[in-house]
């Protein structure tokens, strides 16, 4: 058999070089949280490697990054026995119980003082990885703790899981950790599912569990799962503490939790618990508590375990945030695609730091199953589920006379078209092509901050313009400047506000192509998909002429997205709209790669507080265009925290960690004269 070393030519060398390079970037991204290249450049490296490997299939090795994309479908998951049983943790819910735990530990250690490590308790699915000869050979779920499912093919697709360990000293190891999903990824997948009338998942954990059970690894690869390691067992070195094991895991190339604390007293433990109870909503992923572990491995052994739970560790669980409110009314909301959804109108109630006055009720059946009546006192929740929801009715507080609610069979808009619920479908739909509410949502989406970001064209203006007949489609936005007289007749409009609107509309013509694609509101084309499309089909014409096969050959584009794009572009009305927008001067071609310079390469910026001369998003884009990374949370690796007005806990954290803090003005200067830093 040919090996890498006796193959003539440069290809074999380049293959090795590319693998090394990709591995380096995986590490920078997942372990060190400081990527130095854009996603686009990363994909180019991977593309080149795939291309070379397909020309030399004999050189493909199991640890090549190309092997992550997902193999053949799996029949059933084989059952495997864990080399060391996978224990679970006893849960506690109060400070007193944590103090009890500390007392028990001290008693069992007969006076010796424990040092504790506090870690975030990731809310995902436990996973045990086996490495042999440095290679990841098995990934298994917890199952009953003794035996779990072999889900190796699925876990291989997770980019954060190294296929080969980076530390030559460690060849054989069992690594345990949590497979989880970023909240943003979860929301995007759910939005797609909802629009497609597919099952919507309650929280990122359920979606992660469902994904790992998929029989098709290619589908798993598209779900962007993450991994964090929290336990190591290896005979190759002897270490004395859990924290040393965690440091070793990092050196082996595994991502570990960014927030941990070493605590010499239970008071310090309680401080960490309180800090993260407040701050957990700042994290880009979900946690359901904190894990407290005795650091010394010798002491861990001394403490042992009882009934499948170690006596050296405990989980402190945060309560799902709940509050009571009164259901004042149930209204209907019409989405861009015509889905009609019931919405709970509540007395404004403070819940986990924000005031909630509306919550989704999903669909007609959800309201019926809860037996909701107008006037009821209800429980609202915001926990792992991210979006506030009405989870229960407090029956004891039901007033003597209440009104039962029935799903109206007409659209809530003034045209009141009949709505319908297709057989076997949970949703009602409005098919009225001229439904002003759908138009309103379409326009709101188009003008919104993350789409075309049109200053002056907010909800209220859109509503007025639709009512006055000035807006009947997206294209009309770019004709508004010819309708000045009509606009000035409307309430609230004066020459100054009109000028602001016209400037906003003109400025939007400079938005990049990917934003235009997102703004069009094509079903399933969210911000992420729009970016991917713009990268692979760099102009609208390239996209219009793309075949189904060309679309689905892009890794993240599945059948339903492709179908939606094709049918959108096949509609005459949509093609006319695109031409009108092109004529108006909107960008229909992508013009530049993500990074335009590298002066911020390797730097991470965190923006906090209110900015006055730019939006946070604009600031983040400026960083990305210079090859830097914008992040939502502060760590030791953060290069700069830019603090706007009323900056809060992130600023405090930066000061605590000694991270450099810039004012908005200083950041501006850095952007305009990069050499001054």
Q: Are 179 and 212 in contact (CB under 8 A)?
A: yes
Which H helix or E strand runs over 173?
Answer: strand 173-180
> Closer to ligand IVH at the Cβ: 212 or 522?
212
User: Cα separation of 71 and 364, whole Å?
Assistant: 40
Chain centroid, CA 323 distance in Å? 26
The distance of closest approach from Cβ of residue 116 to ligand IVH in the complex, given in angstroms and rounded to an integer, is: 13
Q: Are 330 and 145 in contact (CB under 8 A)?
A: no
Terminal-residue alpha carbon distance, the chain = 55
The distance of closest approach from Cβ of residue 299 to ligand IVH in the complex, given in angstroms and rounded to an integer, is: 14
> Among residues 433, 460, 577, 454, which one has the least CA distance to residue 510?
454
Residue 466 interacting with ligand IVH (CB under 6 A) = no
Number of C-beta neighbours around residue 88 at 10 A: 14
> Closer to ligand IVH at the Cβ: 85 or 528?
85
Q: What is the DSSP letter of 645?
A: B
Interface with ligand IVH: number of residues (CB under 6 A): 14
The distance of closest approach from Cβ of residue 176 to ligand IVH in the complex, given in angstroms and rounded to an integer, is: 7
> Closer to ligand IVH at the Cβ: 182 or 580?
182
User: Cα separation of 286 and 321, whole Å?
Assistant: 13
The distance of closest approach from Cβ of residue 89 to ligand IVH in the complex, given in angstroms and rounded to an integer, is: 4
Stretch that binds ligand IVH, among 310-318, 345-353, 368-376, 649-657 (CB under 6 A): 310-318
> Closer to ligand IVH at the Cβ: 178 or 432?
178
Distances (CA, A) of 458 to 80, 370, 440, 452, 516: 57, 35, 11, 12, 18
Both tokens of 146, joined, read: 């003794």
The distance of closest approach from Cβ of residue 315 to ligand IVH in the complex, given in angstroms and rounded to an integer, is: 5
Stretch that binds ligand IVH, among 307-315, 423-431, 450-458, 560-568 (CB under 6 A): 307-315
- Provide the 3-class DSSP secondary structure of residue 619: helix
> Closer to ligand IVH at the Cβ: 116 or 605?
116
> Closer to ligand IVH at the Cβ: 33 or 486?
33
Strand ordering across the sheet containing 260-263: 91-92, 313-317, 287-294, 116-122, 260-263
Which residue has the CB atom at the shortest distance from ligand IVH?
126
The distance of closest approach from Cβ of residue 242 to ligand IVH in the complex, given in angstroms and rounded to an integer, is: 9
Of the candidates 313, 359, 643, 654, which one interacts with ligand IVH according to CB under 6 A? 313
CB neighbour burial string for 353-389, b if at least 16 within 10 angstroms, e if fewer: eeebeebbbbbbebbeebebbbbbbbebbbbbbbebb
> Closer to ligand IVH at the Cβ: 149 or 178?
178
Site of tokens 């997948």: 189
- Provide the 3-class DSSP secondary structure of residue 535: helix
String of contacts with ligand IVH for each residue 274-293, x by CB under 6 A: -----------------x--
Of the candidates 26, 53, 102, 178, which one interacts with ligand IVH according to CB under 6 A? 178
The distance of closest approach from Cβ of residue 119 to ligand IVH in the complex, given in angstroms and rounded to an integer, is: 4
**Contacting residues for 600 by C-beta, under 8 A, at least 6 apart:** 623, 626, 627, 628
String of contacts with ligand IVH for each residue 179-218, x by CB under 6 A: ----------------------------------------
Catalytic residues: 121
> Closer to ligand IVH at the Cβ: 121 or 336?
121
Distances (CA, A) of 386 to 285, 330, 339: 10, 21, 21
The distance of closest approach from Cβ of residue 313 to ligand IVH in the complex, given in angstroms and rounded to an integer, is: 5
The distance of closest approach from Cβ of residue 122 to ligand IVH in the complex, given in angstroms and rounded to an integer, is: 4
Of the candidates 71, 85, 143, 310, which one interacts with ligand IVH according to CB under 6 A? 310
User: Cα separation of 129 and 552, whole Å?
Assistant: 31
Q: Are 60 and 66 in contact (CB under 8 A)?
A: yes
String of contacts with ligand IVH for each residue 74-113, x by CB under 6 A: -------------xxx------------------------
Helix 183-195 to helix 204-212 angle (10° resolution) is 80
Q: Are 50 and 91 in contact (CB under 8 A)?
A: no
Which H helix or E strand runs over 179?
Answer: strand 173-180
Name residues contacting ligand IVH, limited to 111-130 (CB under 6 A): 119, 121-122, 126
| Max Cα–Cα distance, the chain, nearest Å | 87
> Closer to ligand IVH at the Cβ: 114 or 521?
114
Strands 403-404 and 91-92, how do they pair? unpaired
Name residues contacting ligand IVH, limited to 501-560 (CB under 6 A): none
> Closer to ligand IVH at the Cβ: 119 or 295?
119
Q: Are 454 and 505 in contact (CB under 8 A)?
A: yes
The distance of closest approach from Cβ of residue 321 to ligand IVH in the complex, given in angstroms and rounded to an integer, is: 19
3-state helix, strand, coil in the chain (%, to 5): 40, 20, 40
Please give the residue ranges that form the binding site for ligand IVH (CB under 6 A). 87-89, 119, 121-122, 126, 178, 230-231, 291, 310, 313, 315
């Amino acid at each position: 058999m040919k090996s890498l070393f006796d193959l003539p030519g440069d290809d074999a060398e380049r293959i090795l070089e590319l693998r090394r390079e990709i591995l380096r970037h995986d590490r920078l991204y997942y372990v060190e949280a400081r990527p130095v290249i854009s996603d686009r450049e990363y994909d180019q490296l991977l593309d080149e490697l795939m291309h070379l490997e397909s020309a030399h299939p004999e050189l493909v090795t199991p640890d090549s990054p190309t092997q992550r994309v997902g193999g053949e479908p799996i029949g059933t998951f084989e059952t495997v026995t864990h080399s060391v049983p996978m224990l679970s943790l006893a849960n506690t819910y109060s400070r007193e119980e944590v103090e009890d735990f500390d007392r028990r530990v001290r008693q069992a250690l007969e006076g010796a003082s424990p040092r504790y490590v506090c870690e975030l308790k990731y809310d995902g699915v436990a996973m045990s990885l086996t490495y042999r000869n440095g290679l990841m050979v098995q990934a298994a779920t917890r199952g009953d703790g003794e035996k779990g499912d072999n889900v190796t093919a699925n876990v291989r697709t997770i980019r954060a899981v190294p296929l080969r360990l980076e530390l030559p000293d460690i060849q054989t190891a069992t690594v345990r950790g949590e497979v989880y999903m970023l909240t943003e990824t979860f929301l995007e997948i759910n939005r797609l599912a909802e629009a497609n009338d597919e099952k919507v998942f309650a929280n990122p954990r359920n979606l992660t569990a469902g994904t790992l059970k998929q029989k098709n690894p290619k589908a798993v690869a598209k779900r962007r799962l993450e991994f964090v390691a929290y336990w190591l067992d290896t005979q190759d070195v002897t270490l004395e503490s859990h924290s040393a094991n965690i440091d070793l895991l990092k050196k082996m190339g595994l991502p570990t939790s960014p927030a941990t604390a070493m605590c010499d007293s239970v008071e310090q433990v309680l401080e960490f618990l309180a800090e993260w109870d407040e701050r957990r909503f700042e994290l880009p992923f979900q946690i359901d508590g904190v894990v407290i572990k005795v650091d010394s491995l010798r002491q861990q052994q001394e403490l042992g375990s009882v009934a499948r739970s170690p006596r050296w560790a405990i989980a402190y669980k945060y309560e799902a945030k709940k509050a009571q409110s009164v259901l004042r009314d149930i209204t209907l909301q019409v989405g861009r695609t015509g889905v009609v959804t019931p919405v709970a109108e509540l007395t404004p109630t403070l819940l986990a730091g924000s005031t909630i006055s509306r919550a989704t009720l999903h669909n007609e059946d959800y309201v019926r199953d809860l037996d909701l009546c107008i006037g009821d006192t209800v429980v609202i929740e915001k926990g792992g589920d991210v979006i506030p929801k009405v989870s229960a009715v407090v029956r004891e507080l039901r007033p003597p006379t209440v009104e039962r609610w029935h799903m109206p069979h007409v659209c809530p808009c003034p045209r009141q078209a009949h709505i319908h619920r297709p057989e076997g479908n949970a949703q009602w739909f409005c098919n009225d092509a001229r439904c002003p509410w759908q138009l309103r949502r379409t326009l709101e989406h188009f003008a919104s901050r993350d789409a075309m970001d049109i200053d002056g064209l907010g909800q209220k203006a859109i509503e007025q313009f639709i009512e006055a007949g000035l807006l009947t489609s997206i294209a009309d936005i770019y004709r508004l400047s010819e309708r000045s007289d009509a606009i000035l007749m409307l309430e609230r409009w004066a020459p100054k506000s009109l000028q602001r609107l016209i400037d906003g509309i003109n400025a939007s013509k400079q938005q990049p192509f990917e934003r235009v694609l997102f703004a069009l509101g094509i079903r399933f084309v969210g911000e992420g998909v729009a970016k991917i499309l713009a990268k692979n089909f760099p102009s609208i014409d390239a996209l219009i002429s793309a075949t189904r096969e060309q679309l689905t050959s892009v890794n993240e584009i599945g059948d339903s997205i492709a179908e939606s794009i094709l049918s959108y572009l096949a509609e005459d009305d949509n093609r006319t709209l695109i031409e009108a927008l092109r004529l108006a001067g909107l960008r229909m071609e992508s013009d530049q790669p993500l990074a335009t310079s590298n002066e911020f390469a390797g730097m991470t910026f965190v923006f906090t507080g209110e900015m006055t001369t730019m939006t946070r998003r604009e600031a983040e884009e400026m960083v990305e265009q210079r090859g830097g990374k914008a992040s939502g949370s502060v760590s030791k690796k953060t290069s700069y925290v830019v603090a706007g007005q009323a900056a809060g806990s992130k600023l405090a954290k930066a000061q605590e960690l000694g991270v450099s803090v810039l004012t908005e003005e200083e950041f501006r200067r850095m952007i305009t004269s990069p050499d001054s830093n």
